[in-house]
Amino acid sequence: MLPDRDAAEEAAEGVVSRFGLVEAEHPHLVRDALAGEDDAEDAQWLVVVEDPSGRLDAAALDEFAMEYEGWLERP
């Protein structure tokens, strides 16, 4: 979860190289509007990384997200 689209786009690029993701694992961005807010300024952005095999370290992903003023959220 990241505070804005610019941070999310940078993080999406960075997570690929940092964690060695292959093409099929590349993240996608999702806008998450805050409840009751329609203004894009009030949106947070998710960088969705699917890891069905569980090979990515959650602590490392959380630390990575913090570099972009974000945090890790699990489903």
**pLDDT digits 0-9 by tens, 4-29:** 999 999 999 999 999 999 887 889 99
Classify residue 16: in a domain, yes or no.
Answer: yes
Residue 48 domain boundaries: 5-66
pLDDT of residue 35: 53
Count: domains in the chain: 1
What confidence score (pLDDT) does residue 8 get? 93
> Which DSSP string corresponds to 15-47?
HHHHHT--GGG--EEEEEEPTT---GGGEEEEE
| Phi, psi (degrees; rounded to nearest 5) at 52 | -65, -25
Q: Is residue 25 situated within a structural domain?
A: yes
> Per the domain annotation, does 28 fall within a domain?
yes
Q: What would the pLDDT profile of 29-74 be if each residue is shown by its tens digit?
A: 999 876 555 555 567 899 999 888 888 999 999 999 999 999 998 8
What pTM did the predictor assign? 0.80
pLDDT of residue 12: 93
Distance CA 25, CA 4 (A): 22
Residues 24 and 11: their CA atoms lie apart, in Å, by: 17
